[in-house]
Structure 1
């Protein structure tokens, strides 16, 4: 049973690496963005609530995200393990997640942090070619990420559950390092 939390700035390769590990370990890759989009698409009760915030251009509140995660982690395919990608994003969410997992009788094994230099992240994100990905907006997103996530990294480091991985290498090398980290 493997339960992992993935951290990393936008462009660090979290989605790619979480997908590779999920495949290798045969556990679900749970992306909070994907859960949200699916709940809205399937028009579930939680999806309807989330849609109201999305339509208003507001962030979906933590409480609703937690309900979506609780629902997803309770599904049968997540009993043998999971990789959580995109949550938690701050210490408050990390504390909520601990309570949620305790209520489900689960705990996570490792928090894996993909470290990539800002210049590389900017270059990667600019290559994606999204209209809203200007260098200025990317740097702002990285600043916001650092403000919110640095305390989160310390939160997990203090609990001796954080493993930082150099994400500025060939994807196969990063995957290898991640597999070695969770085997330790």
Structure 2
């Protein structure tokens, strides 16, 4: 049998190692996610169907027409709230879904938000982190919140409330 050139053997070995790494990689890595907690994968899997706004509405999320944006911090988008999930720290049951205009007349899912009423108990936790400090949010009241930007990358971090890449302005809406 003729000797194989070393570069070919090395290339075959590298290909085999890469294939094995892909097979054993966590699902989030295989999907291209580098989320800081594995339960974010559960949240993604439970909510990916809500990329369809209609699916969210069918499952009890109530549509809003007020887009949240801070001129210095960035935007959050439109909050669709499911009252049955208020108080939940289950990764698969966010109280709110955040959408932005897709510039085609629809809306695109960008993030999740967990909302827990402030009842005087210790700060709630999910994804191995505390919720943001309690704040009064009309009409919900005094609540703790935690955002998870798993459908649109937030350069400030997955759990940062505002995303500097989110705006409430659509070019089609502002051009008259």
Give the TM-score of the pair, scaled to structure 2.
Answer: 0.24
Higher fraction of helix: 1
Higher fraction of strand: 2
| Higher RCO, 1 vs 2 (CA within 8 Å, ≥6 residues apart) | 1
Structure showing greater radius of gyration is 2
